[in-house]
Amino acid sequence: MQAIAKALVQAQKEFGPALKSSTNPAFRSKYANLSACIEAVIDGLNNNGIFLMQPTHECENGVTVETIFLHESGEQMSSGKLHVPVTKHDAQGYGSALTYARRYSLMTACGIAPEDDDGNAATQAAPAKAAPKPAPKPVAPPASMEGKNEGPWFLKVTTEPGTDTATWVTIVQDAVKLALEHATTEDDLLALFGNNRNIFDKLKEISSEEYVYLTGEFKKRKDAINTKA
């Protein structure tokens, strides 16, 4: 395994960040799709004689993907198998789960993560004497949250043509988290949940795990609001 180990070390030096190049126009949130993740590592791998494979394995309740690095010497290395369950058993459901599994298996195997603008900003040197921040002002629900009936707290989640289901779920998560940041009362939370019940019902149908996760985020925000009160 000496040849492939040495080649992988050299290849990783050439890896770039998985750029969040796809955009949700409604909330201006970005995410790194599968092609962006592959683009971040494929040149580094190929330049060092490594072929990337992501074979699938038989699975009854979802998809199982394995990321394998095959070196020109004949040596190969596997990152292990990643299983992603499927809640919607049709072509779209399996296709979305496969894209999701390939993306996360690849990022895990290569040790990369989506580019984080906030994280990058946090690493910049702080000024010697930071000016005191003004007291925060009450923030009303942003205009981008308004949807049908021209009322507040209606999320408008739109995606680009051909967006897979897993990406839609990620965009919904980003949108809800953004909305929760602006919720200051329990009434806000009730309005946010009630006015977007159709979105949450669709999310629950696609992925019950992600639905449970977001309802947990609602509870965290409610506890935070009650603590301040």
- The per-residue pLDDT string of the chain (229 residues; one tens digit each, 9 = 90 and over) reads 899 999 999 999 999 877 766 554 444 456 678 888 888 899 999 999 999 999 999 888 889 999 999 999 999 999 999 999 887 888 888 888 888 889 889 988 998 877 554 434 333 444 455 566 665 444 333 333 433 344 568 887 776 777 778 888 888 888 888 888 888 888 888 888 888 888 888 888 888 888 888 888 899 889 888 887 6
Residues 106 and 147 in one domain: no
Residues 105 and 19 in one domain: yes
Give a yes or no: residue 118 inside a domain. Answer: no
Residues 91 and 144 in one domain: no
Give a yes or no: residue 101 inside a domain. Answer: yes
Give a yes or no: residue 121 inside a domain. Answer: no
Give a yes or no: residue 193 inside a domain. Answer: yes
Query: How many angstroms separate the CA atoms of 49 and 46, rounded?
Result: 5
Q: So what's the pLDDT on residue 229?
A: 66
Q: So what's the pLDDT on residue 25?
A: 46
Q: What is the pTM of this model?
A: 0.49
Residues 38 and 95 in one domain: yes
| Angstrom distances, CA of residue 23 to CA of 26, 35, 44, 108, 199 | 9, 14, 26, 23, 19
Give a yes or no: residue 205 inside a domain. Answer: yes
For residue 76, give the 3-state DSSP assignment: strand
β-bridge mates for residue 76, sequence order: 70
The domain of 161 spans: 140-228
Give a yes or no: residue 131 inside a domain. Answer: no
End-to-end CA distance of the chain: 60
β-bridge mates for residue 22, sequence order: 31
Q: So what's the pLDDT on residue 4?
A: 92
Q: So what's the pLDDT on residue 21?
A: 60
Give a yes or no: residue 59 inside a domain. Answer: yes
HSE toward the beta carbon, residue 192, CA cutoff 13 A: 27
